[in-house]
Amino acid sequence: MSTNRDDFGIVIRSALLQRGAKQKFSLFFLILISAGIFALDNSGLKPVKILRSLINDGIYRISAITSSPLRLSSHTKDFFVNHISVYKENEKLKAEVEKLKKQKLTTSYLETENKQLQEVVQLDKKSSFTTIGAKIMLDKNSPYLKSAVINKGSNVGIKLGMPVLSSGHLIGRIVEVNFISSRILLLNDLNSRIPVVISPNGEQAILSGIGKSKPRLEYLPEGFEFGEDSLAYTSGKDGVLFSGISIGRLVFEDGRVKVKLFTDPNQIFLVNVVLDKATDLEAM
Amino acid sequence: MAINVKIFKEGFLRLAPLILLVYICISEFHTQFYFWKIFSFNLQFIIIYYWILRDPSILGYGFVFLCGIINDVVLSLPLGTSPISYLFVSLVAAYVRNATVRSTLFTDWFTFVIAILIGNFITYYLIQNFTELEASYTPMFYNSLFTFILYPVFWGIFELYKKAIVLRTYD
């Protein structure tokens, strides 16, 4: 018994400390270095953060270049798949155009009515935001994080927590800012929690990512019911996100109320980072 | 001609596993092989485990450490998480290499389970206890399972490759 334990000790010691013919470092030394780096990175010291930002910027650029062949193959596959389903899509689009034509008439009427009402109650006309356009450099779907890296950073005024839009709808917020790149935490990530308001009745809830395409609504009022026209908007209650940014349509799935996002987080390419609310002049 | 073959085999071909490992860590490889919401596998673990076990002169521990750092930056994990995980996978491989006389696919494959479990447990433990990130256990389980299932496939490919890069007497 003791011989077995001795053997194990000898072999594990040899594996940890032996460097072999072409090994410059022992495993033990490198594990210690890794643990040290991990502790330093978690300490949150400012010099370490700056160093990490520089490393991030460098590696993101290299990563964007090296990923291009993989992305090209993916685009080629998508191109062929899209062409195969083009007939069905055409039929669907024709029906959609007809539907939209009808909706346009209704919208036009509502727009006029809304304008008149706004003039009456002198509502603040500021409805748009000051944004900055950015391109997705990396789109990593790891088991730990659903995020995307964009090609703008603190050099253009991006700060932590800023909301990010795609086609005018919220897709996430900034969680990491480097000098020339930033990371967006997407709404469907496990770590994403956003306070929302539900139209038309104005119920408050929290939109939580679950790692799948549709995030779910939590902390809904008791006896909550919703219709086909129920939409989720940011409530701005956290004091970080602006209120009134559209997010998605409510759906009932797997016994939970979920939100089908207006923009598919896996299909984004260009995004807008909301820097501030626009002034009256900008909004006009 | 023979000298050229020798240089090519000793130079580029022996570097290929390392180049592949660096490329996987730095590129969007994970994203491109993430199907049906459950299928993903950790090719880094397979490469590290196989080459440390079968021919450690091809893959140095220092490079394994560097690849871990790159992986952390690309996946936005705290620096040091992946290197620790990869180095423990290397430790299991080095232990198996030292403890066994003659290794076969089955001995490699079943000891690989221990390496995957330790590697993923370390990653999960560090993320859950030392960061504000939240990790879901289910995708990690599927990732580990598919990594285990696919090991023999890559074992076969790497064995063929290893035979191809061996220098013969007249090379």
* Number of structural domains found in chain B: 1
Residue with tokens 């950790």: B42
pLDDT at B83: 93
Residues A184, A250 share a domain: yes
Residues A105, A161 share a domain: no
Residues A140, A94 share a domain: no
> From the candidates A34, A53, A189, which should be mutated to test the interface with B, based on the most B CB atoms within 10 A?
A34
pLDDT at A132: 83
Contact A38 B130 (CB under 8 A): yes
Contact A42 B131 (CB under 8 A): yes
pLDDT at B163: 85
At A279, the pLDDT band (50, 70, 90 cuts) reads very low
The rounded mean pLDDT for chain A is 79
Distance CA B132, CA B122 (A): 16
Backbone angles phi, psi at B18, to 5 degrees: -65, -45
The rounded mean pLDDT for chain B is 83
pLDDT at B165: 78
- A49 lies in a domain? yes
pLDDT tens per residue, range B28-53: 665 545 555 677 788 899 999 999 88
**pLDDT-wise least confident of A181-185, A204-208, A234-238:** A234-238
Q: Is A77 on the interface with B (CB under 8 A)?
A: no
A176-181: average pLDDT: 89
pLDDT at A36: 92
Residue A104 has pLDDT above 50, yes or no: yes
pLDDT at A127: 44
Residues A90, A24 share a domain: no
Residues A90, A181 share a domain: no
pLDDT at B65: 92
- CA nearest neighbour of B40 among A143, A66, A147, A71: A143
Residue of A nearest to B71 (CA): A59
Residues A267, A138 share a domain: yes
| Collapsed DSSP state (helix, strand, coil) of residue A110 | helix
Residues A250, A190 share a domain: yes
- A274 lies in a domain? yes
Chain B, 8 to 27: residues with Cβ < 8 Å from chain A are 23, 26-27
Residues A277, A169 share a domain: yes
- B161 lies in a domain? yes
pLDDT at A34: 92
Task: List the structure tokens of A77.
Answer: 């596959």
pLDDT at B29: 64
In terms of C-beta density within 10 A (0-12 exposed, 13-18 middle, 19 or more buried), how is residue A273 classed? buried
* A11 compared with A278, residue with greater pLDDT: A11
Residues A202, A109 share a domain: no
Task: List the structure tokens of A264.
Answer: 């598919």
Task: Please list every residue in chain A whose beta carbon sits closer than 8 Å to the beta carbon of residue B23.
Answer: 66
At A124, the pLDDT band (50, 70, 90 cuts) reads very low
Residue A2 has pLDDT above 60, yes or no: no
Residues A191, A229 share a domain: yes
- CA nearest neighbour of A15 among B134, B130, B53: B53
What is the DSSP code string of B103-150? --HHHHHHHHHHHHHHHHHHHHHHHHHHSS----HHHHHHHHHHHHHH
Residue A215 has pLDDT above 80, yes or no: yes
Residue range(s) defining the domain that contains residue B132: 2-165
Contact A26 B61 (CB under 8 A): yes
Count of residues making up chain A? 284
Residues A279, A191 share a domain: yes
**Strand duo A193-199 + A146-150: pairing:** unpaired
**Strand duo A203-208 + A163-166: pairing:** unpaired
pLDDT at B152: 93
> From the candidates A6, A32, A37, A71, which should be mutated to test the interface with B, based on the most B CB atoms within 10 A?
A37
E strand map for A105-187: 129-141, 146-150, 163-166, 169-177, 182-186
- B140 lies in a domain? yes
The domain boundary residue, chosen from A123, A145, A170: A123
pLDDT tens per residue, range B101-118: 777 888 889 899 999 999
Backbone angles phi, psi at A102, to 5 degrees: -65, -40
Residue A93 has pLDDT above 80, yes or no: yes
Residues A141, A258 share a domain: yes
- CA nearest neighbour of B81 among B67, B62, B94: B67
- A282 lies in a domain? yes
What pTM did the predictor assign? 0.67
A55-66: average pLDDT: 83
| Collapsed DSSP state (helix, strand, coil) of residue A129 | strand
| CA dist list (Å): A201 to A69, A124, A223 | 49, 21, 13
**Of the spans A18-22, A61-65, A74-78, which averages the highest pLDDT?**
A61-65
Task: Please list every residue in chain B whose beta carbon sits closer than 8 Å to the beta carbon of residue A39.
Answer: 80
- A73 lies in a domain? no
Core vs surface per residue B111-139: b (16+ CB within 10 A) or e: bbeebbeebbebbbebbeeebebebeeeb
- B72 lies in a domain? yes
- B171 lies in a domain? no
A182-198: average pLDDT: 88
In terms of C-beta density within 10 A (0-12 exposed, 13-18 middle, 19 or more buried), how is residue A86 classed? exposed
Q: Is A26 on the interface with B (CB under 8 A)?
A: yes
Task: Look up the CATH number of the domain holding residue A202.
Answer: 2.40.10.340
Residue range(s) defining the domain that contains residue A40: 2-66
pLDDT tens per residue, range B132-163: 777 778 888 888 899 999 999 999 999 998 88
Backbone angles phi, psi at A191, to 5 degrees: -90, 0
* B5 compared with B72, residue with greater pLDDT: B72
Of B26, B37, B78, the CB nearest to A63: B26
* Number of structural domains found in chain A: 3
Task: List the structure tokens of A92.
Answer: 């669907």
pLDDT tens per residue, range A224-277: 888 878 888 888 877 777 888 888 988 888 888 889 888 887 777 788 888 876
Cβ pair A204, A213 in contact under 8 A? no
Q: Is A45 on the interface with B (CB under 8 A)?
A: no
- B170 lies in a domain? no
Query: Which strand (E) or helix (H) includes residue A113?
Result: helix A86-121
pLDDT at A4: 64
* A238 compared with A117, residue with greater pLDDT: A238
